[in-house]
Amino acid sequence: MSENREAQAADAETAPPSTRKEIIQGLNEDLAREYKAIIQYVVFSSTLKGAEYGDIAEQLKQHASQELEHALEVARQIDYLGGNPTMKSKEAEYSDDSKKMLEIDLRAEQDTIKNYRERILQAERAGEFALSEKLRGIIAQEQDHEIDLKDALGLR
């Protein structure tokens, strides 16, 4: 048993095998982040003030719809893998200040992208290629969201 563990630990230093359970746990974290994104975009697209933010307000509504599609897809993948999709959101953040709110959204997108990258690697290590394909589609949209937010903040 302990020898087996050592062998697993040695493997883990190079390419740790991802178990289905780990992937389900990770996907449930991703799902909770998608719920949070939906909440933030729904609220903020309707409360954003300032003429300079006219374009981004429309884009945030589109983000909200896309995050819902992501949540539906991730939940479907969790169910397919034999897991239970979470009903809990990560805690949503808010600011009255438009710039700060956009910064909150940007940080959230970057965190989301980082986590989906990890999930894609896990999926591929486990041979779950259909899942990794779906996640690649999602991450491409998250990267577009990041670009929209950076443009609105004058960071590009």
Residues that bind Fe ion (CB under 5 A): 34, 67, 70, 109, 142, 145
Least Å distance, CB 113 to Fe ion, is 8
Length of the chain: 156
3-state secondary structure of 147: helix
Compare residues 109 and 128 and give the one whose CB is closer to Fe ion: 109
Largest Cα–Cα distance of the chain, in whole Å? 65
For residue 56 the two structure tokens come to 């981004």
For residue 115 the two structure tokens come to 């986590």
Tally Cβ neighbours within 10 Å of residue 20.
13
CA–CA dist 43, 125 (Å, integer): 38
Least Å distance, CB 30 to Fe ion, is 8
Least Å distance, CB 89 to Fe ion, is 13
CA–CA dist 69, 87 (Å, integer): 16
3-state secondary structure of 86: coil
Compare residues 67 and 128 and give the one whose CB is closer to Fe ion: 67
Compare residues 11 and 79 and give the one whose CB is closer to Fe ion: 79
Least Å distance, CB 4 to Fe ion, is 38
